[in-house]
């Protein structure tokens, strides 16, 4: 099936579906939904990744049109379900994200954030997996906060 997928440039729909099970983080109230983390055996998304921007970055790094076409096919019609005990929720379409829990997902995510350091050049930026830390020192906290806000605004526009 994998070889067929490569040669046909199509990803089977079953590979685009995640079943998410909430897992209690062992802190805070068990009744608070914020104290749960979604776990999936099939790949859930890194939710913040804008797929259109990722495609532009892949082109910038020289990915072939065929490879990009395959990724675009993978991004189409992705769904996920929530599973609690043996009960599945209705399907939810995934509009953002890259596949997590696979070899491909982290690579795509790293490509997506690779130029982050360029946009935040007035900060020391530490990246590890999907965690980012911005470091800057100064004498006036208000100025530091303003600088941080300006940099983030520039990054998201």
What digits encode the pLDDT tens for the residues 10-39? 766 666 666 666 778 888 998 888 888 776
CA 64 to CA 68: how far, in whole Å?
Answer: 6
Compute the CA torsion angle 48, 155, 52, 71 (nearest 10 deg).
-60
Judgement on whether residues 88 and 125 belong to the same structural domain of the protein = no
Banded pLDDT at 64 (limits 50, 70, 90): very high
Parent domain of 34: 2-113
Nearest to 144 by CA among 129, 126, 123: 123
Q: Kindly report the average pLDDT of the chain as a whole number.
A: 76
8 A C-beta contact, residue 39 and residue 20? yes
CA 147 to CA 141: how far, in whole Å?
Answer: 10
Judgement on whether residues 89 and 142 belong to the same structural domain of the protein = no
Q: Mean pLDDT over residues 48-68, rounded?
A: 87
Judgement on whether residues 132 and 144 belong to the same structural domain of the protein = yes
Judgement on whether residues 23 and 79 belong to the same structural domain of the protein = yes
Judgement on whether residues 119 and 73 belong to the same structural domain of the protein = no
Most confident by average pLDDT, 1-15, 19-33, 134-148: 134-148
Count of structural domains within the chain: 2
């Amino acid at each position: 099936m994998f070889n067929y997928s490569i040669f046909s440039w199509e990803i089977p729909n079953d590979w685009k579906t995640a079943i998410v099970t909430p897992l209690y983080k062992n802190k805070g109230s068990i009744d608070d939904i914020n104290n749960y983390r979604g776990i999936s055996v099939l790949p859930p998304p890194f939710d913040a990744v804008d797929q259109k921007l990722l495609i532009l970055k892949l082109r910038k790094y020289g990915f072939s049109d065929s490879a990009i076409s395959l990724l675009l096919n993978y991004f189409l019609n992705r769904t996920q379900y929530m599973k609690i005990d043996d009960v599945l929720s209705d399907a939810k379409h995934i509009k953002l994200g890259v596949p997590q829990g696979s070899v491909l997902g982290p690579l795509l995510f790293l490509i997506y954030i690779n130029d982050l350091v360029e946009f935040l050049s007035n900060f020391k930026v530490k990246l590890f997996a999907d965690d980012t830390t911005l470091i800057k020192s100064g004498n006036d906290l208000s100025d530091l906060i303003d600088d941080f806000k300006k940099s983030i605004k520039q990054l998201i526009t």
